[in-house]
Structure formats: C-alpha cells, structure tokens
Structure 1
Amino acid sequence: MTARWILLRGLTRESRHWAAFAPMLEARCGAVLPIDLPGNGTLAHWRSPVDVDAYVDAVRAEAQRHGARPPHRVLAMSLGGMVASAWARRFPGEVERLVLVNTSMRPYSRFYERLRPAAWPALARAAWHWRDGDGNVAEAMIHERTCARRDTLAADLDAWCAIRASAPVRRANALRQLLAAARYTVRGVPRCPVLVLSSREDRLVDPACSARLARAWGATHREHPWAGHDLPHDDPQWLVDVVCAVFQEAATDTRANSS
C-alpha cells in the first residue's frame, strides 16, 4: 500500500484513540496508516524501549510490514512527535512532511514545561489506579488532563476503558515510555517541511514548547484557541483543515516560484 499519512500517538495511547480524526484525514488527504508504538495497542505485548531511536526502528518495521512505501507524511503527537522527529533526522529520504501536535523535546523545553506540575497529582492518581479492573479512574484522570471537551466524557470513557480492557498497557511500559520521552534530545533540524501545532489550553504540556520548537526550526506554527492536549479528540475538523490548508499553500507557493 501507499500510505500518504502515517499517524503516531503518544504515551500509552494507541491507534484507536485517533477515533474520528483518522477517517476524516483520509477522506481529505489520502490513505492513512496509524501505527502503534511498542507497548501500546497491537504491540501491547512488546516491552517499551527507553530510547526514542528504538521506537523509530519499530515504527519503520511496522510500516514496511504493512507494505507502506516511503516517502511518508507523518503526523504525530506527544511522544509520537519525538519518534517522528528522530525518524526524519535519521532517515531524511523516508519522511517528506512532518506534522507535530503538542509535542516537546529538549533542548527547546524545560522539564516543568514538558509535563506541567499541575498535572502531576492527576497522573500520580492514574498510575496508582493503573491496574484497576475497569480502568475507569485512570482513564478519567487522563481525560481530565488531556481533553478540553467534556460533552463527550461518558462516551469517551466507555470507549477508552474498552480499549484498555482489550489491549492493556502494562504500568512498567507506561513508565518506560515516560522515561524515553524525558531522555530524548533532538539533534539538528529535519530537512522536510514541518508544521507544528499546539493547543492554547493544553493542561499537560505547556504550549510554549511547540512555539519555541517552531521558532528554532523555522517551521510553520498554528495554535488552536481552546483545545486541550488531545487536539485530535477535541477538534478533529480543525486539525484536518489546518494540515490540508498549510501544505496546499506550500505546494502552491512552490509551483508559483518555479514558474
């Protein structure tokens, strides 16, 4: 298959957490292939690495296994954004476009910006209840910190708890993913066009992380006015519209400059 877009989620999240966003992007921008990070979703039985480069190797292998041929367009958020950035740096010929959603990475972000101190109690409570049978408390804590929309809360928790029950992420893997994110330092700037997106009301990661990254890389930056960390959940239509519009504008400018 030729996947125009590969999608990578973040800490303890998997392909099904894209929900409505994935088919919406596919309808507008072509084939989409969501890939799970090791330890999550279809790869829940794997041991999560503590090094981002190991995630890159696993994602590349999964893309090849699905028959996806480079170059790819990669849209990723949070930890997935770090993996996508490392992929674009290590294998520049394989990534033609990069969209980073609410991600953060050293040296452009401070530790208290990458994981806001106000979020620590909720995350600690989620970790304490991680092994609960129904997963409701842990998922409720994650929702409270990552989503600005509350009108879908009941349906979200039902769906997320069902996902957890069918492919549980081991607490040790969750901690290993957190360690990988904390340790990662990006070196250099990807050669491909980069679009950085952030949410003004992100209560997990300070949106200043995205703004600073975009300035350092000379990348295009757009900020959603009210969404939380899980921007694909809160406003998938806005995300699809911005991604399509920005890259269509860039393509138009390229054609105009070459004529």
Structure 2
Amino acid sequence: MTTLVLLRGLMRDSRHWYGFDQRLAQQAVNVISIDLPGNGLLVNQPSPGKMQDYCDAVWQQIDDALLKQGMLPSQVKVVLVGLSMGGMLALTMAAQCRLRVQHVVLINSSAANLSPWYKRFQCLGLMRSLGAVLTRALHTSLSNNIDNDKSHWLEATVLDFTSRHLGQSIEVIHAWSLLRLQCHTSLSNGLRQLYASARFHSPVLNGISVSVIVANQDKLAHPKCSEQLAVFYQTQLHKIDDCGHDVSLDQPQQLQQLLLELIH
C-alpha cells in the first residue's frame, strides 16, 4: 500500500485538510497528516527559520505513525504531498533523505531561485481579499453571521484569499475560526515560517519523481511559480481549473483523482 504524507502550508496544520485526508484514506492509500513545528499539535514548539530544520520533526511524526501501523520506517518509501510551504519542505526532505522518498508532489508551491518574491506571495491579492470581506460586512449579512471576534475576520480573509469557491462560506469560516480558537500559530512562529519559505531554493533531486500541480486561479502564489518548478524538474505541469490556492478545499475530487493517477 502506498503511503502518502500530507504537508500543509504557512501557518496551517493537519486539521485544515478539512476531511481531504479521510477521503484519500478510503482509496486504499495509507495517509499520514503532519503538523510542522509551531503548528497544530506542535503549536508550542518554535518554528525554525530554515526549511531544513523542519525535517527531523516531520520524519519523527512519520516514523511514529508507521510504527503504530506495524510497519518499519526503514522499509517504507513515502510519497510526499506538499501544498505551498509544504511543497518546499517536501523537496527539502527528499534532498536530505533520498532513500526514504519515492515521489514528491508539489501543489501551488514556489522557490526563491525560480520566481520573484512578488509572484510567490501576491500581496495585492491579500489586500483585495481583506477589502472584499469588509465590503461584504457592510452590504450583506456577513457581519450578522460572524461575531466580532478577530479570529472570524482573520479566517474570513484567509479563506477569501485562498479559496475560489468557499471564501464566502459561513459554514467553513465558522469551522476554521473554531480551529483557530482551539489552537493557532503564534505571530512569531508565522514570521519564522514566512522567513524560511522566502529563503527556500529548489534542490536538485536525482532518482526521485517530482510532479507539479497548479491551480490556475491561485491568488496567493502566481501560477507561473509552479510553471517554473515544472521546468526546473523537467516534469509535466498538471493544471486544475476553477480553483484557488487551497486545492483540497476547492476541488477535492479532482485533486484526489489526480493524486491517485500520479502515484499508481
């Protein structure tokens, strides 16, 4: 059975797959969802400022999960699936431990040696999302459905920025706001994650398959960033239309089908 390791992006954790990991697990695939230092279950740990310093904590979670399932980590080659910053980490892990990685799948990721910073993080898109949330609050019932807790407004802005279809979903905004209230990444850890991501350079990988998936309507990382990754790794670019940065939220069925095709 193929083992997929799911890695989320900046200041997000395994809970933000929003059921996508369970969907995959129903397809005869072993799925391990990981939290990075500073996020999720590891929220109290400091986030490193270098991408390579995340690897040990991630491999430890993978090994623990495999041992719980009765498998020897040394005998399992994993498929690393990384969204955004998670893709950068997946490449770093593959470069460090080549013998443990079968395949790397990048989703809406980027690298500093391939794309300029303003395409890797489109600040204008974030400002537009903030403006859209404030406008809806003035002209619709959004303000009546979302209380004045800042977590709700933060998540409403994040969702508008990263999702093409569910950015205005009151249900998802409430769900993610609850996740934030239960546990959220500190500002200092978030800044360190951003710093590590900003400095990331794509490593050369030999003997490991790399696949690149891009959402054509990504407002966070410009699709050109994924195009450059595909060129660098000399691999096909797989496009998902009508989809924002958070592909597993916007087009879970398409992403699931594509992942299964890539790993089989």
| Residues 1:159 and 2:158 are matched in the alignment | no
| One-letter amino acid matched to 2:250 | D
Report the more deviating stretch, 156-165 or 145-154.
Answer: 145-154
| Residues 1:244 and 2:250 are matched in the alignment | no
Partner-residue secondary structure (3-state), 1:67: helix
| One-letter amino acid matched to 1:23 | Q
Partner-residue secondary structure (3-state), 1:215: helix
> Partners of 1:138 and 1:16 in 2: how far apart?
17
The 1:43–1:124 alpha-carbon spacing in structure 2 relative to 1, beyond 3 Å, is farther
> Partners of 2:118 and 2:16 in 1: how far apart?
26
Per the normalisation by structure 2, the TM-score is 0.86
Is the CA contact (8 Å cut-off) linking 1:116 and 1:205 kept in structure 2?
yes
The 1:151–1:188 alpha-carbon spacing in structure 2 relative to 1, beyond 3 Å, is closer
Cα shift readout 1:60-88 (whole Å, capped 9, x = no counterpart): 12212223523111111111110000000
CA RMSD in angstroms, aligned pairs only: 2.0
Identity among equivalent pairs (%): 29
What is residue 101 of structure 1 aligned with on the other side?
Answer: 107
Cα shift readout 1:132-161 (whole Å, capped 9, x = no counterpart): 955011111111110001387111111111
| Residues 1:115 and 2:124 are matched in the alignment | no
> Partners of 1:200 and 1:80 in 2: how far apart?
19
Counterparts of residues 27-66 of structure 1 (less than 5 Å): 27-66=26-65
| One-letter amino acid matched to 1:21 | F
What is residue 142 of structure 2 aligned with on the other side?
Answer: none
What is residue 135 of structure 2 aligned with on the other side?
Answer: none
After superposing on structure 2, the runs of 4+ consecutive aligned residues of structure 1 that deviate more than 4 Å are 122-125
Aligned-pair distance for 1:220? 2.5
What is residue 86 of structure 1 aligned with on the other side?
Answer: 92
> Partners of 1:28 and 1:5 in 2: how far apart?
11
Is the CA contact (8 Å cut-off) linking 1:98 and 1:193 kept in structure 2?
yes
Which of 234, 237, 246 in structure 2 is aligned with 1:218?
Answer: 234
Partner-residue secondary structure (3-state), 1:66: helix
What is residue 192 of structure 1 aligned with on the other side?
Answer: 208
Give unmatched runs, 5+ long, in structure 1: 126-131, 249-259
| Residues 1:230 and 2:246 are matched in the alignment | yes
> Partners of 1:61 and 1:53 in 2: how far apart?
14
> Partners of 1:151 and 1:117 in 2: how far apart?
17
Give unmatched runs, 5+ long, in structure 2: 68-72, 132-147
What is residue 80 of structure 2 aligned with on the other side?
Answer: 74
